[in-house]
Every structure is written in structure tokens, then in C-alpha cells.
Amino acid sequence: MEKILDRFLRYVSFDTQSDENSESQPSTAKQLKLLQLLCDELKALGVEASLDQYGYVMASLPSNLGGREVPAVGFIAHVDTAPDASGADIKPQIIDKYDGGDIPLKGVPGLALKPSEFPELLHYVGQTLITTDGTTLLGADDKAGVAEIMTAVQYLCEHPEIPHGPVKIGFTPDEEIGRGVVKFDVERFGAQYAYTMDGGEIGELEFENFNAASARIHIQGSNVHPGSAKGKMRNAILIGQELGSLLPVNQRPEYTQDYEGFFHIISFKGSVEEADFAYIIRDHDRALFEQKKELITKVVAFINEKYGAGTATLELRDQYYNMREMVQPHYHIVEKAVKAMEMAGIPAKIQPIRGGTDGANLSFKGLPCPNIFAGGLNFHGKMEFVPLQSMEKASEVILNLISLYAG
């Protein structure tokens, strides 16, 4: 058996950053290099696997239960890393037997992972931590999940005496930009139930996520020389700021938690003449989600009434919905995940995702798909790290789930 650490380090050596500005599928060709490697590794293990034109790796282990029929269960992870920080030339640091102190990130002098800032570090004293060197993200989101699935598959292939039903494996691109399963063929995948291995720290189990929408707002101003601007200039930057001020301050991400939703401005670019603002809108409650969309629509209408028709143009697009309504009728899949964690000696922490996963969209495509921890923390930035023992336990949970589905 290849050690999961070696596997993980190999996968994070690939730059697989996705690009939300690209229209292709996958959004970046470099993701295909790791996807092809995974397909080849599966085939080398004797697993039937394919990589399609959209960047989906799908693989299948047939049941060894004879004629006894059990549900096919799938495990899915994404290979892309977030656009928030560089995913190129990653130099992981391996901290053996972590002592509870500050961890210098040696690529940036003076930068360190500190328990005073990240107290969750102290949960992992004595364990092996993999961190960044401070210049890039690590890629545990979600290459930890990829490594965990591949390790479980290898174990099954090398231990054919272990009873299991049909097992399906999927690796996807572009999850970080919300397009991970846009063209994912659920029928071809062939699972009745699945799990994304894409959660955070050990024990996390999630079957609720935000309802999500994006709002892009274009402000058309009018620029004249400031010396003669009175009564003529309409400053697009200031109008955009005014629009933002009309949204409730207490519904910004920095003031919300648990099931509370938010409006979050994620980008701005512009000038006096014209400006573009981008927001994301989130809420677990579908009715409150619809109210938020209605509010931003009314705010744009108010700006147009005040400054003239066409001043503000809104492009509002739903991105994904709360998977709970699709998973709840099949709650036994959540109960099995809890049991699989208990078998591994892990207390399950069921909590809502303050975000989304491929599992949300897959659930609405007809494949109920809760989300299980991959083990990493501080995703999307240079403070990202993952405990080795959490990855090992996640792979054990996968094997336990396969055993439970086999009856």
C-alpha cells in the first residue's frame, strides 16, 4: 500500500487552479493533467476508469457479493484549487509530532501558524501536520479527499476478500468556481447514493448548505470635468457605494454565523464613468433566500428611480440550493455516515455548510450526496493545513461506509 501522505504530496504538486473567467469545461487545461493521472492510477489498480471530454473521471468497482443486490455507493472529490491564492509550485512543510507551538511558514519571513490565532491547532498536538510554506495554498481542499478515496480504493483492490457492493468513484474539476458538476452524468456514474469527501476538520458531516445566488451590478455614470461637474456628474463609484449601503449591514458575512445568511460584496472595479460590483447572496432558509434576492432587486430599482433608468443593471443568477430537501427523504445515508465514523472512533459533528459543495447540485440531479470531512483547515489560503491522521481516518470512514452498504 502506498502511504496516504506520499499520495497526497504527489497530488498537491500539480497546479490545478480553476478560473471563473474561463468559459471552457474544465475551466483550465492544467486540471486535466491530474485527472489523467488519477484515471491512469485507477486503471493500474485494475479498476475500470475513464476520463471524459468535460474532465470527469468516473470509475467502478463491481460488487463481489455474488447475486445479492445492494445499493451502489459513490465517493466524489474535486481536483481544482481555489482562485483565492496561488496553487502553483506548492512547497508543503511536514511537521512531525506537533508540539503545540507556533509553526514558521518558511517561505515568508516572520509568517507563522499560531495557536493564538488558530486555536484549533491545539486539537492536533502530537500529530503530523502538513502546512504550506506561506507562499501558496496547500490544496487539501480537495486533494486530501482525492487521496483518501484513492487510498480506500487501493485497499479494496489489494484485499479482494473484503465484501463490498458496487463502488463508484468520481473526480471532478471546477468545484471552486461553482461549475463542478454542471455536466456530470449521474446516470452514467451509476450510484444510488454518494458522498463528497470535501468537508473540513475531522468529524464534520454535512447535509445542509446555503441556497446561493450571484448578483452582478453594472453602474453607468456620467463623467465630466470636475471643475464644471455641478449638476452634471454622476459618479458610478459613489452610486455603487450608495447601493451597497442600502443592504443591511448586519447581514454581511463578518456579522453572521450558523444558519444566518448574508450579502457579500466580492469584487469591485470601475471609474467615475462606469463601475461593476459583484455580490454573492446566501441563506439556508429558502424563503429568506428569496427575500434577499427580492431586496437587492428593489435596491437596484430605487437607484434607477433616483438617478435615471438604466443607471444600475442587475444580473441575478441562482447557483445552487440547500441539499437538505433532497437528502432528508433518504436520511439513512446520513445515519450510515454517523455509524461509519463511530466505527472509526470519531464522534460525528453534524452541522450546516456555510457554503456549498458538488454534493448540493448532485442531490438536485437525483443523487443524494452528503458531505464528509476531508480533514483540512483554513482552506483557500496560505494558512491552510491538514493533519495526516485526519486523512487516514477519512479513508477508514470510506471503507466503513462501503462495509455498511454491503450489509
The one-letter amino acid code at 273 reads E
Q: How many Cβ atoms from other residues are within 10 Å of residue 165's Cβ?
A: 21
Contacts of 14 (CB under 8 A, 6+ apart): 30, 33, 34, 37, 79
Of 15, 41, 80, 176, the catalytic one is 80
- State yes or no: cis peptide before 26, omega within 30 of 0: yes
Chain-centroid distance, C-alpha 286:
21
Give the span between the Cα atoms of 177 and 172, in whole angstroms: 12
80 an active-site residue? Answer: yes
Of 41, 141, 142, 175, the catalytic one is 175
SS3 386: strand
The one-letter amino acid code at 281 reads I
Give the phi and the psi of residue 217 in degrees, each rounded to 5. -120, 125
Contact indicator for 212, 281 with CB cutoff of 8 Å: yes
29: cell is 487545461
Contacts of 66 (CB under 8 A, 6+ apart): none
Contact indicator for 150, 51 with CB cutoff of 8 Å: no
Contacts of 34 (CB under 8 A, 6+ apart): 11, 14, 16, 79
Give the span between the Cα atoms of 23 and 19, in whole angstroms: 9
19 an active-site residue? Answer: no
Catalytic residue numbers read 80, 175
